[in-house]
Structure formats: C-alpha cells, structure tokens
Amino acid sequence: MFEQTFSKIQLLTALILANGFKREGTGLVVTSVLQRPTLVLNRNWQAVGVATVSRSLVKVWSESARIVDPSDFQQYDWEDWSQLTPSADEPCIQTQWMKLRVPEVIALTKYDRMPANVVAFSRRNVFKRDQFMCQYCGCRPGSEELTIDHVLPRAQGGTSTWSNCVLACVECNHRKANRTPERAGMPLKRKPVRPLWNPSYARFGVRLESWSKFVSDAYWNIDLEE
C-alpha cells in the first residue's frame, strides 16, 4: 500500500510539472508525451471522447477509469499498470523512480451514456473538421486561402450541408468550378460527414491505429478535450 501511494505521488508530481510548473533538482523528466491523445470509452466500451494522457492518468488514479490494452483488451488499474515495463520502442513517462507506459485507451468505470452533442453546421466548424486542409490536394495554405466548396455544385441542386461541403484551396476551387469531383477528376481526400463530437477542442488532428479496434472510420473527425 505504501509503494502504491508513493507511486501515485510521483505521478501527481509529473502531471503538475507537465501542466506548466517546473522544479529544479528533482531528477524528474516529463515530455510532451503527456499531451498525446487517449481514446475514452464509456462503461459499455463505446467511444465517447478523447483526452490527453495527463488527464486520462488522473482518471485512472482516481479510480474513475481503467486503462485498456488494445493488444488483448485487458483492463488495468493504476497499481497493475505501473508494474508493467515499457518496451524499448514505445513512448513512456520517465521519472527518477519509474517508467510508466503511455495509455492509448481508457474505459470509464461508471459512465455508460453516449454524448448527445450535435455539431452546428458553420464555417468555423467546417474549417475545424477539415483541419484547415484542402480536401482535394491536401495543402494547408492558411485560412485566407481556403474556401468552402460544394461537392455537388449549387447550380446542380447541391445543398449547404455537412455531407456536401468541404474545404478547398482557391486554386482547386477554381479548377473544379461547377463540376462534381468525378467530372473534374479531383477525388476527395475523405468523404465529408457531420463530426460526431463537438470540434471546439480540436488541436492535434491525430488518430492512433489502436483506436480502430474500438471505433469505425466514421469516427475520425474527432477532437481532444483540454
């Protein structure tokens, strides 16, 4: 019990330092690994959000979540997870006293609902969903050089909806003109869909391969909570 409590204190110190505080002479090494994304599942193992590693470990520490190993779906509490040894090629949190594996998936122990967020269709949210990237050529020229393109042109009956609007750079928008992507020979990078989660927390635009075992490809328009 003493060792478990001591390990938790070490982790708390690491999380405090990772959130902007620095203490000299501790021998503690904390990197941006604490800001990596972690998939959050509800009690029924349905994806309900994404949190940083830092926040996910706090949930595990407080026993409101367990870490899920995507390789075998085994669940771990804090004590069990802290006993695992990271492999040489995987990211880890390293302190003077221990090395801790970085979780990629956690499951909440009590929450069993699904988020009821409905994302409003707006220019700002389209930019966030498409990560400020032209959906035709993949460039990121900056917001001033991006516009919202109707996949099926309005002249042909296209509507302003999540499934028919994408970001396009000025050059691609002019090249496509009033044609469909098929007629213009300009395939989309991905099919436009309504984001499943509120994109107001978008920062990383990162997805981990291990998440594919828990969510479908339709989930990749996702965002991270602070």
pLDDT at 7: 53
- Find out whether 115 and 124 touch, Cβ atoms under 8 Å: no
Cα 95 to Cα 99: distance, rounded to the nearest angstrom: 6
pLDDT at 212: 78
Paired residues of 68 in beta bridges = 75, 105
pLDDT at 106: 95
Which single residue is written with the structure tokens 């099926």?
Answer: 152
pLDDT at 18: 45
Question: Which SS3 state, helix, strand or coil, does residue 127 take?
Answer: helix
Cα 181 to Cα 165: distance, rounded to the nearest angstrom: 12
- Find out whether 134 and 140 touch, Cβ atoms under 8 Å: yes
- Of 1.10.3430.10, 3.40.50.1000, 1.10.30.50, 3.40.250.10, which CATH number belongs to 123-184? 1.10.30.50
The answer for residues whose C-beta is within 8 angstroms of residue 38's C-beta and 6 or more apart is: 50, 51, 52, 53, 55, 56, 103, 104, 105, 106
The pLDDT profile of the chain, 226 residues, written as one tens digit per residue, is 444 454 555 555 555 444 433 333 443 344 478 888 888 999 988 888 888 888 999 999 899 999 999 989 999 999 899 889 888 888 888 777 778 899 999 999 998 776 665 677 888 889 989 999 999 999 999 999 999 999 999 999 999 999 999 999 999 999 999 999 999 999 999 999 988 654 433 444 555 678 877 765 444 444 434 3
pLDDT at 221: 44
| Domain parsing of the chain, residue ranges | 2-108, 123-184
Q: What is the dihedral of CA 174, 175, 180, 186, to 10 degrees?
A: -130
pLDDT at 210: 80
